[in-house]
Amino acid sequence: MKRNLFLISNSTNAGEEYLGWIKNDIVDYCRQYGVKEALFIPYAGVNVGQTFEGKTIKDSYDLYFDRVTSVLEQDGLRLRSIHKCDDPAVKHIENAECIIVGGGNTFHLVYALHKLNLMSSIRERVLGGCPYIGWSAGANIACPTMRTTNDMPVIEPKSLDTLGLVPFQINPHYLDANPAGHGGETREDRIKEFLVVNPSVTVVGLREATALVVKNDDIKLTGSRPMRVFRYGTDPQELSAKDDLRIIL
């Protein structure tokens, strides 16, 4: 399968600047494929800059685009945002050198992509070789469905089906800890609930400060931490950058 994917768990580590830990890797990834201009998809950013009364969701998209642009264009990577492009939006997907999907609320991202009929267009463009970069929600939608998101269902998408660029599910921002005083389910408990209902699916708990790089039928883990792999009926497995990860493909 032809695909070039950079699937990032999170944009920002605690105490760091926005995209600080991953900015250089994103720029280098784009240079690797000769990308000079990337198409940004901001639809997960429903409340960027704390948009209050008198502001619209488009204002949030504008702020989101400005935030990402201020970081990535420092190193010469030009960005356009699809929400600023002329209609039809699908034309800009078809002509994109690279597609970047930012994080935020996965439900709203998926709602917007289905409403604008962009899901299949993005899939076709990426499986045609266009590099795809997504963090958080943007990584989650590279999976067959969005059903391993952590986000609140602020809006109802037409479908929970997403891009299906990889055969497994990602749970971004995966946490091992059970916070003190918390009596509810842990992240692992929630993933195991998913597997009871979907026993044939593999779920990758992608910890913060890590990312998956998929090139055709090869896959590598980058970052400072291992990932946690969940399958129905077996104990979770820790896999590091040194391991052969092709077993999840």
CA dist., res. 23 & res. 29, Å (int): 10
Quickly count: other Cβ atoms within 10 Å of residue 161's Cβ.
16
Going from the C-alpha of 229 to that of each of 2, 8, 48, 243, the distances in angstroms are 24, 16, 31, 12
Location of structure tokens 């299906």? 164
| Catalytic pick among 9, 60, 121, 136 | 136
Going from the C-alpha of 55 to that of each of 42, 63, 244, the distances in angstroms are 16, 11, 48
* Of residues 51, 58, 183, 177, the one with CA closest to residue 112: 58
CA dist., res. 183 & res. 163, Å (int): 34
159 tagged catalytic = no
136 tagged catalytic = yes
| Catalytic pick among 120, 173, 176, 189 | 173
213: tokens are 């790089």
Query: What amino acid positions are annotated as catalytic residues?
Result: 136, 151, 173
